[in-house]
Amino acid sequence: MNMHLTGMDGGPVEIEPEAYQTFKTGFRGVLLAPQDAAFDETRKLWNGMIDRRPGLIARCTGTVDVVQAVRFAARHRLLLSVRSGGHNIAGLATNDGGLMIDMSLLRGIWVDPAGCTACAQAGCTLADMDRETQLHGLAAVLGFVSTTGIAGLTLGGGFGYLTRRHGWTCDTLVSMEVVMADGQVVRASADEHAELFWALRGGGGNFGVVTAFEYRLFPVGPEIVGGAIAWHGADARQVLQAYRDVSARAPREMTSVAVLRVAPPAPWLPPEIHGQPMAAIFVCHTGDMAEADALLAPLREVARPVADTVMRRPYVQMQSLLDATQPKGRRYYWKSHYLAHIEPSLMDLAVEHAGRIASPFSALLMFQIQGALGEQSAGHSPAGNRDAAYVLNIAASWEKPEEDDLQLRWARDCFEATRGCSTGGTYINFLTEEEGAERIQAAYGRTNLDRLAALKARYDPHNLFRGTKGLTG
């Protein structure tokens, strides 16, 4: 009996039993069809709003499996998606009716302490990386939620607590192992396939399947000074003013994140604030710990904090402090802006729209990123917008589908209201499925986007890989 899958053009493709059996025989991993017991759980992504059903899932156990799956998809012109961590807000890891290449089983990490590098397979999460590298007092430049996959984070740029010191995550790449559209395996680096290396450092997954990443590592920890300070929501305007002033003066060793939301029932918050509006600042200081108290003093003097958990703690613990805000299966919708600075009008708008939050899980966040990333030219990598100092993330999160319209409206209204405070740029990893060509260009810049499109036509002329809309060859 023939297998029916979805093709690249959206039409049906029939796979004859002999062709499927040949693929299956050469595949060492697990092939899951919709009727298989593990299929439904495997297809699910972090964002509960994404509910698609691939026709076939190829769970790879090594690079050879990825090669076999890519060749199978190319031979039959199948709709293809690639899943690593499955944490992308737009759900780029899945599709309806096509082939999903699932690399979540590829979790090997090899650390070279002497050379300060680490090679990690594409299924690794941030937690996997931090656990292995911190054994040697080293760290990669990664994100803020430890359950995120390294692949999507890196291919879209990537930023976190170490970005101010060392740039985008993709700036720290040494090399990548890549399976191309014809099944060829290449090493992309500054010396080999340099144009491909450029494209993959922030240009998304449109050029091939990256099966391994080699990163430069930096001395961090294993202990740092970090945690959160929280205030009543009534003090939010004062908190943002202090956040602006302190973050602007802070050395690159200190990174902070401002958050406006409803206080969750977290053990670090007093019970009387649970369910009430709150403001918080998360701080990570990776420099001289003796300097931390003086740097934080102006924040601790704002109004009267209701909680202060900033202390010496393991860096790996700091990396997971925001995990509880991002559980798998909840419904998520994000909008974002890059900011050159935090204007008084933005503070007013942030407080106003935080007061309209319609879900106990939604939040407004301001991530501080200015520093090392601005020392490279705009064309150093596709991950442009190196003039940005902060990222404003309007993060709607809720549980019930019947609330979709309400929650989407809150995020979109806040986005439009704050548009005038933006540099005009945006972060590619925060773009949702509805974002069009204008927003893609805002993420890359016109010059970088034109170069990416030319490279897309060269490396994948038939558009087998289509992770980032706007780069179609």
The domain that holds 327 is classified in CATH as: 3.40.462.20
> At how many degrees (to 10) do helices 404-417 and 344-354 cross?
170
DSSP single-letter state for residue 407:
H
Largest CA distance in the chain: 72
Handedness of CA 5, 11, 16, 21 (dihedral sign): negative
* Overall domain count for the chain: 3
318 and 244, same structural domain?
Answer: yes
Does residue 447 lie in a domain region?
A: no
pLDDT of 90 reads: 87
Q: 88: domain CATH number?
A: 3.30.43.10
Instruction: In whole angstroms, give the CA distance from residue 167 to residue 304.
Output: 34
**pLDDT per residue as tens digits for the range 27-45:** 999 999 999 999 999 999 9
**pLDDT per residue as tens digits for the range 97-119:** 999 999 999 999 999 999 999 99
Radius of gyration of the chain from its Cα atoms, rounded to whole angstroms: 22
353 and 249, same structural domain?
Answer: yes
Mean pLDDT of 339-361: 96
Structure confidence at residue 468 as a pLDDT band (50, 70, 90): low
Domain boundary residue, one of 154, 186, 219 = 219
Does residue 63 lie in a domain region?
A: yes
Does residue 336 lie in a domain region?
A: yes
Does residue 468 lie in a domain region?
A: no
Query: CB–CB of 236/279 below 8 Å?
Result: yes
Domain boundary residue, one of 102, 117, 143 = 102
Domain boundary residue, one of 185, 219, 253 = 219
Which of 49, 54, 46 minimizes the C-alpha distance to 80? 54
295 and 421, same structural domain?
Answer: yes
Q: Give CA angle at 73 (122, 439), nearest 5°.
A: 65
Does residue 453 lie in a domain region?
A: no
Instruction: In whole angstroms, give the CA distance from residue 308 to residue 227.
Output: 8
Instruction: In whole angstroms, give the CA distance from residue 129 to residue 117.
Output: 11
Does residue 297 lie in a domain region?
A: yes
Q: Is 420 exposed, middle or buried (0-12, 13-18, 19+ CB in 10 A)?
A: exposed
296 and 339, same structural domain?
Answer: yes
Structure confidence at residue 467 as a pLDDT band (50, 70, 90): low
Q: Which tokens belong to 196? A: 């491909």
Which of 370, 414, 439, 466 minimizes the C-alpha distance to 78? 466
Instruction: In whole angstroms, give the CA distance from residue 5 to residue 120.
Output: 32
Residue 473 above 50 pLDDT? no
236 and 186, same structural domain?
Answer: no
Does residue 457 lie in a domain region?
A: no
Containing domain of residue 29, as a range?
3-102
67 and 10, same structural domain?
Answer: yes
**pLDDT per residue as tens digits for the range 183-227:** 999 999 999 999 999 999 999 889 999 999 999 999 998 999 999
**pLDDT per residue as tens digits for the range 4-29:** 999 999 999 999 999 999 999 999 99
Residue 222, preceding bond cis, omega within 30 degrees? yes
